[in-house]
Structure 1
Amino acid sequence: MFDVLVFVYENYWRGDACPEPERLERRLSAHGFEPDEIQQALAWLDGLNLAAQNTELSPEGRAAIGDAPPGRQSPASLRVYSVSEQDHLGAECLGFISFLESAGVLPAPLREIVLDRAMAAPGAPVSLEELKIIVLMVYWSCGEQPDALVLDELCDDRQGRLAH
Protein backbone atom coordinates (compact mmCIF):
# COMPACT_ATOMS: atom_id res chain seq x y z
CA MET A 1 0.00 0.00 0.00
CA PHE A 2 2.78 2.46 0.85
CA ASP A 3 4.36 2.07 -2.59
CA VAL A 4 1.04 3.17 -4.09
CA LEU A 5 0.86 6.16 -1.72
CA VAL A 6 4.38 7.23 -2.63
CA PHE A 7 3.49 6.97 -6.32
CA VAL A 8 0.39 9.12 -5.79
CA TYR A 9 2.36 11.71 -3.80
CA GLU A 10 5.14 11.91 -6.40
CA ASN A 11 2.80 12.13 -9.39
CA TYR A 12 0.09 14.41 -8.00
CA TRP A 13 1.98 17.02 -5.99
CA ARG A 14 -1.24 18.57 -4.68
CA GLY A 15 -4.17 16.58 -3.35
CA ASP A 16 -6.62 18.52 -5.49
CA ALA A 17 -4.67 17.48 -8.63
CA CYS A 18 -5.32 13.81 -7.93
CA PRO A 19 -7.84 12.23 -10.35
CA GLU A 20 -11.10 10.61 -9.30
CA PRO A 21 -10.72 7.16 -7.69
CA GLU A 22 -11.82 5.20 -10.80
CA ARG A 23 -9.35 7.01 -13.04
CA LEU A 24 -6.59 6.77 -10.41
CA GLU A 25 -7.25 3.05 -10.07
CA ARG A 26 -6.79 2.57 -13.84
CA ARG A 27 -3.54 4.57 -13.79
CA LEU A 28 -2.18 2.62 -10.84
CA SER A 29 -3.10 -0.65 -12.52
CA ALA A 30 -1.39 0.48 -15.72
CA HIS A 31 1.78 1.16 -13.69
CA GLY A 32 1.78 -2.44 -12.46
CA PHE A 33 0.45 -2.19 -8.92
CA GLU A 34 -1.47 -5.22 -7.64
CA PRO A 35 -5.29 -4.90 -7.43
CA ASP A 36 -5.35 -5.65 -3.67
CA GLU A 37 -2.68 -3.05 -3.00
CA ILE A 38 -4.56 -0.49 -5.12
CA GLN A 39 -7.87 -1.13 -3.33
CA GLN A 40 -6.23 -0.86 0.08
CA ALA A 41 -4.52 2.43 -0.88
CA LEU A 42 -7.72 3.88 -2.38
CA ALA A 43 -9.69 3.04 0.76
CA TRP A 44 -6.93 4.63 2.87
CA LEU A 45 -6.92 7.74 0.65
CA ASP A 46 -10.71 7.96 0.91
CA GLY A 47 -10.39 8.03 4.71
CA LEU A 48 -7.66 10.66 4.41
CA ASN A 49 -9.83 12.87 2.20
CA LEU A 50 -12.73 12.55 4.62
CA ALA A 51 -10.53 13.46 7.60
CA ALA A 52 -8.98 16.41 5.77
CA GLN A 53 -12.39 17.78 4.74
CA ASN A 54 -13.60 17.62 8.34
CA THR A 55 -10.55 19.41 9.73
CA GLU A 56 -10.28 23.15 9.94
CA LEU A 57 -6.75 24.53 9.84
CA SER A 58 -7.56 28.12 10.70
CA PRO A 59 -5.31 30.59 12.52
CA GLU A 60 -7.30 29.86 15.69
CA GLY A 61 -6.15 26.22 15.45
CA ARG A 62 -2.60 27.50 15.79
CA ALA A 63 -3.34 30.13 18.41
CA ALA A 64 -1.14 30.96 21.33
CA ILE A 65 -1.34 28.97 24.56
CA GLY A 66 -4.70 29.31 26.22
CA ASP A 67 -6.31 31.07 23.26
CA ALA A 68 -8.23 28.09 21.83
CA PRO A 69 -11.94 28.78 21.20
CA PRO A 70 -14.52 26.57 22.91
CA GLY A 71 -14.58 23.05 21.49
CA ARG A 72 -11.07 23.31 20.11
CA GLN A 73 -7.91 21.84 21.56
CA SER A 74 -5.58 24.30 23.24
CA PRO A 75 -1.95 24.24 22.09
CA ALA A 76 -1.04 23.75 25.76
CA SER A 77 -3.05 20.53 26.05
CA LEU A 78 -1.41 17.13 26.38
CA ARG A 79 -2.27 14.27 24.03
CA VAL A 80 -2.49 10.94 25.85
CA TYR A 81 -2.13 7.91 23.57
CA SER A 82 -4.33 4.88 24.06
CA VAL A 83 -2.80 1.44 24.53
CA SER A 84 -3.88 0.44 21.02
CA GLU A 85 -2.22 3.57 19.58
CA GLN A 86 0.97 2.82 21.53
CA ASP A 87 0.98 -0.77 20.30
CA HIS A 88 0.21 0.08 16.68
CA LEU A 89 2.62 3.01 16.39
CA GLY A 90 5.46 2.01 18.70
CA ALA A 91 7.83 4.24 20.63
CA GLU A 92 9.85 5.39 17.61
CA CYS A 93 6.80 6.71 15.73
CA LEU A 94 5.30 8.35 18.82
CA GLY A 95 8.64 10.01 19.49
CA PHE A 96 8.76 11.33 15.93
CA ILE A 97 5.23 12.74 16.24
CA SER A 98 6.28 14.43 19.49
CA PHE A 99 9.37 15.84 17.75
CA LEU A 100 7.24 17.33 14.95
CA GLU A 101 4.81 18.82 17.48
CA SER A 102 7.56 20.34 19.62
CA ALA A 103 9.16 21.81 16.49
CA GLY A 104 5.86 23.57 15.82
CA VAL A 105 5.29 21.94 12.41
CA LEU A 106 2.52 19.50 13.32
CA PRO A 107 -0.45 21.34 14.84
CA ALA A 108 -3.01 19.32 16.80
CA PRO A 109 -5.54 19.00 13.93
CA LEU A 110 -2.89 17.57 11.60
CA ARG A 111 -1.54 15.33 14.36
CA GLU A 112 -4.99 13.82 14.82
CA ILE A 113 -5.26 13.10 11.10
CA VAL A 114 -1.79 11.52 11.16
CA LEU A 115 -2.82 9.34 14.08
CA ASP A 116 -6.11 8.37 12.44
CA ARG A 117 -4.42 7.38 9.19
CA ALA A 118 -1.56 5.61 10.98
CA MET A 119 -4.10 3.55 12.91
CA ALA A 120 -5.77 2.69 9.58
CA ALA A 121 -2.45 1.50 8.11
CA PRO A 122 -1.82 -2.24 7.95
CA GLY A 123 0.82 -3.88 10.09
CA ALA A 124 1.83 -3.27 13.63
CA PRO A 125 3.87 -1.52 14.65
CA VAL A 126 3.95 1.03 11.85
CA SER A 127 7.54 1.69 10.83
CA LEU A 128 9.05 5.16 11.03
CA GLU A 129 9.44 5.25 7.24
CA GLU A 130 5.73 4.43 6.83
CA LEU A 131 4.81 7.13 9.35
CA LYS A 132 6.84 9.68 7.41
CA ILE A 133 4.88 8.78 4.26
CA ILE A 134 1.64 9.20 6.24
CA VAL A 135 2.74 12.65 7.47
CA LEU A 136 3.60 13.70 3.90
CA MET A 137 0.22 12.45 2.67
CA VAL A 138 -1.59 14.38 5.42
CA TYR A 139 0.17 17.61 4.47
CA TRP A 140 -0.59 16.82 0.81
CA SER A 141 -4.30 16.20 1.39
CA CYS A 142 -4.75 19.39 3.43
CA GLY A 143 -3.00 21.54 0.84
CA GLU A 144 -0.29 22.36 3.36
CA GLN A 145 3.33 22.52 2.27
CA PRO A 146 5.85 21.48 4.92
CA ASP A 147 8.80 23.83 5.16
CA ALA A 148 12.12 22.74 3.68
CA LEU A 149 13.60 21.45 6.95
CA VAL A 150 10.53 19.35 7.71
CA LEU A 151 10.48 18.01 4.18
CA ASP A 152 14.16 17.12 4.51
CA GLU A 153 13.46 15.28 7.79
CA LEU A 154 10.54 13.39 6.25
CA CYS A 155 12.50 12.38 3.16
CA ASP A 156 15.84 11.71 4.87
CA ASP A 157 17.27 8.20 4.58
CA ARG A 158 19.02 7.61 7.89
CA GLN A 159 20.49 4.23 6.92
CA GLY A 160 23.34 5.85 4.99
CA ARG A 161 24.32 8.14 7.88
CA LEU A 162 27.51 7.67 9.82
CA ALA A 163 27.32 8.69 13.47
CA HIS A 164 30.31 10.60 14.83
Structure 2
Amino acid sequence: MLDILIYLFENFYEQNESEFLVDRDNLLDELIQAGFAEAEIHKAITWIENLVELRSGGVQTHLLVSSVGSMRIYTDTEQLFINTECRGFLLFLEHINVLNIETREMAIDRLVELENTNLDLEDIKWVILMVLFNVPNGEQAYLQMEELVHEKTLNYLH
Protein backbone atom coordinates (compact mmCIF):
# COMPACT_ATOMS: atom_id res chain seq x y z
CA MET A 1 0.00 0.00 0.00
CA LEU A 2 2.88 2.38 0.69
CA ASP A 3 3.95 2.18 -2.97
CA ILE A 4 0.48 3.35 -3.99
CA LEU A 5 0.58 6.21 -1.49
CA ILE A 6 3.97 7.38 -2.76
CA TYR A 7 2.74 7.11 -6.35
CA LEU A 8 -0.34 9.17 -5.51
CA PHE A 9 1.68 11.72 -3.60
CA GLU A 10 4.18 12.20 -6.41
CA ASN A 11 1.56 12.32 -9.15
CA PHE A 12 -1.50 13.96 -7.63
CA TYR A 13 -0.81 15.72 -4.33
CA GLU A 14 1.80 18.13 -5.58
CA GLN A 15 -0.24 18.94 -8.70
CA ASN A 16 -3.11 20.07 -6.50
CA GLU A 17 -0.82 22.07 -4.21
CA SER A 18 -2.64 21.57 -0.94
CA GLU A 19 -5.41 19.06 -1.42
CA PHE A 20 -6.04 15.67 -2.84
CA LEU A 21 -8.82 16.31 -5.36
CA VAL A 22 -9.25 13.53 -7.91
CA ASP A 23 -12.22 11.62 -9.32
CA ARG A 24 -12.14 8.30 -7.43
CA ASP A 25 -13.25 6.19 -10.45
CA ASN A 26 -10.63 7.69 -12.76
CA LEU A 27 -8.01 7.29 -10.06
CA LEU A 28 -8.95 3.63 -9.58
CA ASP A 29 -8.66 2.99 -13.33
CA GLU A 30 -5.30 4.73 -13.56
CA LEU A 31 -3.86 2.85 -10.60
CA ILE A 32 -5.06 -0.50 -11.92
CA GLN A 33 -3.43 0.33 -15.27
CA ALA A 34 -0.24 1.20 -13.37
CA GLY A 35 -0.27 -2.37 -12.02
CA PHE A 36 -1.59 -1.93 -8.48
CA ALA A 37 -4.09 -4.38 -6.95
CA GLU A 38 -7.62 -3.05 -6.51
CA ALA A 39 -7.87 -4.06 -2.84
CA GLU A 40 -4.63 -2.22 -2.03
CA ILE A 41 -5.84 0.82 -3.98
CA HIS A 42 -9.00 1.00 -1.87
CA LYS A 43 -6.91 0.72 1.33
CA ALA A 44 -4.64 3.53 0.13
CA ILE A 45 -7.57 5.80 -0.72
CA THR A 46 -9.10 5.15 2.70
CA TRP A 47 -5.71 5.90 4.29
CA ILE A 48 -5.64 9.28 2.51
CA GLU A 49 -9.23 10.05 3.49
CA ASN A 50 -8.34 9.31 7.11
CA LEU A 51 -5.33 11.62 6.84
CA VAL A 52 -7.53 14.41 5.53
CA GLU A 53 -9.96 13.73 8.39
CA LEU A 54 -7.10 14.03 10.90
CA ARG A 55 -6.17 17.35 9.35
CA SER A 56 -9.74 18.59 9.59
CA GLY A 57 -10.47 17.29 13.06
CA GLY A 58 -6.94 17.35 14.30
CA VAL A 59 -5.50 15.17 16.97
CA GLN A 60 -7.04 15.65 20.39
CA THR A 61 -4.50 18.37 21.25
CA HIS A 62 -6.04 19.00 24.66
CA LEU A 63 -4.88 15.48 25.53
CA LEU A 64 -1.35 16.14 24.31
CA VAL A 65 0.78 17.74 26.96
CA SER A 66 4.52 17.94 26.83
CA SER A 67 7.02 19.38 29.20
CA VAL A 68 10.77 19.71 29.04
CA GLY A 69 12.33 16.31 29.45
CA SER A 70 9.13 14.37 28.77
CA MET A 71 9.21 11.37 26.47
CA ARG A 72 6.59 9.71 24.27
CA ILE A 73 5.96 6.11 25.31
CA TYR A 74 4.83 3.90 22.42
CA THR A 75 2.15 1.26 22.85
CA ASP A 76 2.87 -2.38 22.01
CA THR A 77 0.89 -1.99 18.76
CA GLU A 78 2.84 1.13 17.79
CA GLN A 79 6.13 -0.65 18.54
CA LEU A 80 5.03 -3.53 16.33
CA PHE A 81 4.70 -1.22 13.31
CA ILE A 82 7.32 1.44 14.13
CA ASN A 83 10.73 -0.03 14.84
CA THR A 84 13.37 1.45 17.14
CA GLU A 85 15.23 3.24 14.35
CA CYS A 86 12.03 4.88 13.12
CA ARG A 87 11.00 5.90 16.65
CA GLY A 88 14.45 7.47 17.05
CA PHE A 89 13.94 9.33 13.79
CA LEU A 90 10.58 10.68 15.00
CA LEU A 91 12.30 11.92 18.15
CA PHE A 92 15.04 13.52 16.03
CA LEU A 93 12.41 15.31 13.95
CA GLU A 94 10.82 16.66 17.11
CA HIS A 95 14.17 17.93 18.36
CA ILE A 96 14.84 19.84 15.12
CA ASN A 97 11.24 21.16 15.13
CA VAL A 98 10.10 19.44 11.97
CA LEU A 99 7.43 17.68 14.01
CA ASN A 100 5.45 19.05 16.91
CA ILE A 101 3.30 17.00 19.26
CA GLU A 102 0.28 17.07 16.97
CA THR A 103 2.12 16.20 13.75
CA ARG A 104 4.06 13.47 15.55
CA GLU A 105 0.80 11.90 16.65
CA MET A 106 -0.64 12.22 13.16
CA ALA A 107 2.46 10.50 11.75
CA ILE A 108 2.23 7.70 14.32
CA ASP A 109 -1.45 7.23 13.51
CA ARG A 110 -0.73 7.02 9.77
CA LEU A 111 2.21 4.64 10.25
CA VAL A 112 0.18 2.26 12.41
CA GLU A 113 -2.71 2.31 9.94
CA LEU A 114 -0.36 0.99 7.24
CA GLU A 115 -0.19 -2.23 9.28
CA ASN A 116 3.26 -2.95 7.89
CA THR A 117 5.80 -4.47 10.26
CA ASN A 118 8.61 -3.97 7.74
CA LEU A 119 8.68 -0.18 7.51
CA ASP A 120 12.15 1.26 7.19
CA LEU A 121 13.51 4.77 7.53
CA GLU A 122 12.80 5.67 3.90
CA ASP A 123 9.18 4.57 4.28
CA ILE A 124 8.66 6.62 7.41
CA LYS A 125 10.15 9.71 5.72
CA TRP A 126 7.54 9.49 2.96
CA VAL A 127 4.68 9.06 5.42
CA ILE A 128 5.83 12.06 7.45
CA LEU A 129 6.16 14.09 4.26
CA MET A 130 2.55 13.25 3.37
CA VAL A 131 1.40 14.20 6.86
CA LEU A 132 3.23 17.53 6.80
CA PHE A 133 1.89 18.31 3.34
CA ASN A 134 -1.61 18.10 4.81
CA VAL A 135 -0.98 20.33 7.81
CA PRO A 136 -2.19 23.90 7.46
CA ASN A 137 0.66 26.41 7.77
CA GLY A 138 3.21 23.61 7.82
CA GLU A 139 5.15 24.74 4.77
CA GLN A 140 8.48 25.20 6.57
CA ALA A 141 8.33 21.79 8.24
CA TYR A 142 7.30 20.25 4.91
CA LEU A 143 10.28 21.82 3.12
CA GLN A 144 12.67 20.59 5.81
CA MET A 145 11.20 17.10 5.58
CA GLU A 146 11.34 17.15 1.80
CA GLU A 147 15.09 17.79 2.03
CA LEU A 148 15.44 14.82 4.37
CA VAL A 149 13.42 12.56 2.04
CA HIS A 150 15.60 13.36 -0.92
CA GLU A 151 18.88 13.28 1.01
CA LYS A 152 20.79 10.05 0.41
CA THR A 153 22.46 9.80 3.79
CA LEU A 154 21.35 11.32 7.02
CA ASN A 155 23.50 11.69 10.09
CA TYR A 156 21.31 12.10 13.13
CA LEU A 157 21.56 11.32 16.79
CA HIS A 158 18.92 9.53 18.77
Paired AA for residue 11 in structure 1 = N
Classify 1:153/1:4 alpha carbon distance in 2 versus 1 (closer, same or farther; 3 Å). Answer: same
Please report how far the alpha carbon of residue 125 of structure 1 lies from its aligned counterpart in structure 2 after TM superposition: 4.1
Classify 1:129/1:158 alpha carbon distance in 2 versus 1 (closer, same or farther; 3 Å). Answer: same
Please report how far the alpha carbon of residue 18 of structure 1 lies from its aligned counterpart in structure 2 after TM superposition: 3.0
CA distance in 1, matches of 2:57, 2:107: 14
Aligned 1:1-164 pairs, distance under 5 A: 1-12=1-12, 13=14, 14-55=17-58, 71=62, 73-76=64-67, 77-143=70-136, 144-145=138-139, 146=141, 148-158=143-153
CA distance in 2, matches of 1:15, 1:135: 15
RMSD, aligned CA: 2.5
After the TM superposition, list the runs of 4 or more consecutive aligned residues in structure 1 that deviate by more than 4 angstroms.
none
Conservation of the 8 A alpha-carbon contact between 1:87 and 1:125? no
Conservation of the 8 A alpha-carbon contact between 1:101 and 1:107? yes
Please report how far the alpha carbon of residue 15 of structure 1 lies from its aligned counterpart in structure 2 after TM superposition: 4.3
Larger radius of gyration: 1
CA distance in 1, matches of 2:143, 2:126: 16
Q: Unmatched 5+ residue regions in structure 1? A: 62-70
CA distance in 1, matches of 2:118, 2:3: 18
Please report how far the alpha carbon of residue 54 of structure 1 lies from its aligned counterpart in structure 2 after TM superposition: 1.0
Paired AA for residue 64 in structure 2 = Q
Seq. identity, %? 26
> What TM-score, normalized to structure 2?
0.79
